A and B are shown apart, each in its own frame.
Chain A
């Protein structure tokens, strides 16, 4: 830190913060396994999410093998294909992305970025991880139960989700619903921590408007998740009742295999309302942390303050609020009243405004920046392009008349993979390259990183651009084989095979990334405390990786916002948030 003479006006003496009662681990077990330290919990969350995410990756390969070369792989039948898509979707959306952004990055970054020693309820935080792990194990166990995992599709729509024609009707669906219920309980424990830590444990000087956008994104997403996940909870409990106790919340009167079922009078639409009341905010629960993180990556690696910080904050809050009144745009074909469709199409299109503001601000931050094409920056740029692409097809699907013919085609699959699959994953990967040095003290290998980026980025486009076209032709989703149909040209089959090859290659690039993670942990170049010369507090810790309690004796005091890059007249091209201001000329002259 630069030596600055004490300034009576602008400076404040170090904060007298009462030392919080930190839990000090006494054994190896409580330090690394049943740890209450948010940083350890973050790593546990990330590793677990990555592990189950790898399962989902393998499932996507199997699906693509079946779609690309139908009939070649005798071990994949129609039922298994349905089970693969269901588990792939559920794992990726909830157990990977939500857990990684909030449980992983939230736990690691919130206390460090707001200048706290730890989360405010460390014990509850620890429980949160263990309940999450239990949820993951219950989910994974469905691969081994009689009948296998459920094949109901990740939306689990009744009545088919619990009918005998759907694979996994015995145990799969019961365990899936139980796992979701556990996940939500575990997440609520963690979410309380993230919210209250931001509200109550910010260090002195850290006003809301000085918080890095990463914290804003994770904070808002957590608030949304806390309010939206109960909808999935209620839907899961009710469907569990229908399946296990034979109630008829969602189940209409049905004849199955010539037998009248005991159900009657229930409403499948009710489930859709509950599911999407959770499901649409979920998109932004994944996207808002990505928005926040990418803002910080762009600002740091373009050595420029974020353009329109206030607008960015307002946009995050506005998107969070709006995302609760758009849910029924997932239900245009459910037979609802056209007036509702009009209403939800309008709110959906309104969300484009704050989202577009964010995209403009990222681009304007890049404008005339001192852009360093580091691996995190490459991923951030990849995110912006991908998000714009996915967002534009969202405009198609948000309009009722365009959505109806495209509904349930591969176009929808391509759209949501671009906007909430590839785009957030780009941010996850960029963020790992960015913060890995802080977590381990070593840099990830650059050459492997660039290889990883280019294969992933180009590969993702080669996978999903053709898929839009296939969808426009009218190829439906969730079909394990499209067969010969008049409206499907034979070139579609070639395209499908091409997509499969690309998917295998992108998957291979992720193996390189995993190798990089392990290799760099032992052999990577030592990074020092602040390799990217960044301003935010996590880079100013006395130790790298940060020790127990994060800060030394005293908590840092914040004097400025998080984006003082390339400030004219400053000695370096960044000024850390905890660096006191330079004394003004008037003060210097007034001093005796």
Chain B
């Protein structure tokens, strides 16, 4: 459970930092009247959708941290046989990086008011995300063809389950991306799409980050790192 505990500690620090700025030591029974004397204690001025995405990312991170916790606990059992990582995953990772970069491109273009750049970025990002998903399916098929079935070893089970969870999150992102692209397609003005593009970009970077961590976990890179941590702790 160390991954999830670590994650919860990070969340606790963030919440604590935010709460520390909210005058939790105020004595509200003595402070009637306007709050203009205490700037920064009112409601957040960020757009609701952006805060909402932030909260959702925390939930999704919690989910993946729990998958990782389960993974690291299960892999210590004797029947664990690590599975060979298909070379295709490296290609997929590259495609996902391209996807993220394309969306960053769209985001920068949106800030510069260049609608053409936004369209190019959104389409390139969406297309490469779809390629990534197809690539993941192909990787599954390669594993299946090589005899690594979902139930034959827990390492395989985790591989299929975790990549599926990540893929489903990406598919959810594609729905949002599709809606944004449709908005642009119908000729929406830049102020109406800027926020959507930004949110998609944040989400894509998040999913890239999650994928890199998962890849490290699934390929066994993080084992050494975990070993070092364990030795430091004990």
Chain A contact residues, CB within 8 Å of chain B:
9-12, 120-121, 188, 191-192, 195-196, 199-210, 223, 226-227, 230-231, 233-234, 237-238, 241, 245-249, 262, 264-267, 270, 273-274, 277, 305, 309-310, 313-314, 317, 321, 324-325, 558-561, 563-564, 580-581
* A209 and B26 contact, CB distance less than 8 A: yes
Checking B26, B38, B48, B66 against A277 with a beta-carbon cut-off of 8 angstroms, the contacting residue is B66
A584: nearest chain-B partner, CB-CB: B33
B11: nearest chain-A partner, CB-CB: A227
* A227 and B59 contact, CB distance less than 8 A: yes
Is residue B229 within 8 Å, beta carbon to beta carbon, of the partner chain? no
Is residue B137 within 8 Å, beta carbon to beta carbon, of the partner chain? no
* A262 and B151 contact, CB distance less than 8 A: yes
* A230 and B63 contact, CB distance less than 8 A: yes
Please give the distance in Å from A401's CB to the nearest CB on chain B: 24
Interface residues of B in 44-68 (CB under 8 A from A): 44, 46, 48-49, 51-52, 55-56, 58-59, 62-63, 66-67
Number of interchain pairs (Cβ within 8 Å): 167
* A265 and B154 contact, CB distance less than 8 A: yes
Is residue B83 within 8 Å, beta carbon to beta carbon, of the partner chain? no
For the complex, what is the distance from the CA of A305 to the CA of B150, rounded to whole Å? 60
From A204, A209, A238, A267, name the one whose CB has the most chain B CB atoms within 10 angstroms: A209
CB contact under 8 A between A234 and B41, given known A11-B34, A265-B77, A317-B19: no
Additional 19 contacts, C-beta under 8 A, given A202-B42, A563-B29: A188-B59, A207-B28, A207-B42, A227-B59, A230-B59, A230-B66, A233-B66, A237-B165, A249-B70, A262-B151, A265-B77, A265-B154, A266-B74, A310-B26, A558-B35, A559-B33, A560-B31, A561-B29, A580-B33
* B73 and A233 contact, CB distance less than 8 A: no
Please give the distance in Å from A94's CB to the nearest CB on chain B: 17
Is residue B145 within 8 Å, beta carbon to beta carbon, of the partner chain? no
Chain B contact residues, CB within 8 Å of chain A:
1, 4-5, 8, 11-12, 15, 19, 22-29, 31-36, 38, 41-44, 46, 48-49, 51-52, 55-56, 58-59, 62-63, 66-67, 69-70, 73-74, 77-80, 150-151, 154, 157, 161, 165
For the complex, what is the distance from the CA of A9 to the CA of B22, rounded to whole Å? 23
Residues of A within 8 A of B69 (CB): 273-274
For the complex, what is the distance from the CA of A9 to the CA of B37, rounded to whole Å? 11
For the complex, what is the distance from the CA of A563 to the CA of B34, rounded to whole Å? 17
Checking A192, A237, A265 against B56 with a beta-carbon cut-off of 8 angstroms, the contacting residue is A192
For the complex, what is the distance from the CA of A497 to the CA of B199, rounded to whole Å? 61
Residues of A within 8 A of B157 (CB): 241, 245, 247-249
* A248 and B154 contact, CB distance less than 8 A: yes
Please give the distance in Å from A241's CB to the nearest CB on chain B: 6
Residues of B within 8 A of A201 (CB): 43, 48
For the complex, what is the distance from the CA of A200 to the CA of B78, rounded to whole Å? 50
* B34 and A205 contact, CB distance less than 8 A: yes
Residues of A within 8 A of B63 (CB): 230, 233-234
* B74 and A206 contact, CB distance less than 8 A: no
* B12 and A310 contact, CB distance less than 8 A: no
For the complex, what is the distance from the CA of A522 to the CA of B66, rounded to whole Å? 50
Residues of A within 8 A of B66 (CB): 230-231, 233-234, 274, 277
* A223 and B24 contact, CB distance less than 8 A: no
* B22 and A207 contact, CB distance less than 8 A: yes
Residues of A within 8 A of B165 (CB): 237
* A309 and B28 contact, CB distance less than 8 A: yes
Residues of A within 8 A of B150 (CB): 241, 245, 247
B41: nearest chain-A partner, CB-CB: A207
Sort A-B residue pairs by CB-CB distance and give the 6 closest, nearest first: A265-B79, A561-B28, A247-B157, A10-B33, A120-B48, A230-B63
Residues of A within 8 A of B24 (CB): 208-209, 310, 313-314
* A196 and B51 contact, CB distance less than 8 A: yes
22 A-B contacts, Cβ less than 8 Å apart?
A11-B34, A120-B52, A196-B52, A200-B51, A208-B23, A227-B11, A227-B58, A231-B66, A234-B66, A249-B154, A262-B151, A266-B154, A267-B74, A267-B77, A274-B70, A309-B28, A310-B24, A325-B5, A559-B33, A561-B29, A563-B29, A564-B32
* B73 and A309 contact, CB distance less than 8 A: no
For the complex, what is the distance from the CA of A265 to the CA of B19, rounded to whole Å? 45
* B11 and A265 contact, CB distance less than 8 A: no
Residues of B within 8 A of A266 (CB): 74, 77, 154
CB contact under 8 A between A309 and B29, given known A196-B51, A208-B22, A230-B59: yes
Please give the distance in Å from A69's CB to the nearest CB on chain B: 44
Residues of B within 8 A of A321 (CB): 12
Checking B34, B58, B161 against A226 with a beta-carbon cut-off of 8 angstroms, the contacting residue is B58
Please give the distance in Å from B177's CB to the nearest CB on chain A: 17
* A11 and B33 contact, CB distance less than 8 A: yes
* B43 and A199 contact, CB distance less than 8 A: yes
A188: nearest chain-B partner, CB-CB: B59
Residues of B within 8 A of A310 (CB): 24-28
For the complex, what is the distance from the CA of A349 to the CA of B19, rounded to whole Å? 25
For the complex, what is the distance from the CA of A321 to the CA of B42, rounded to whole Å? 24
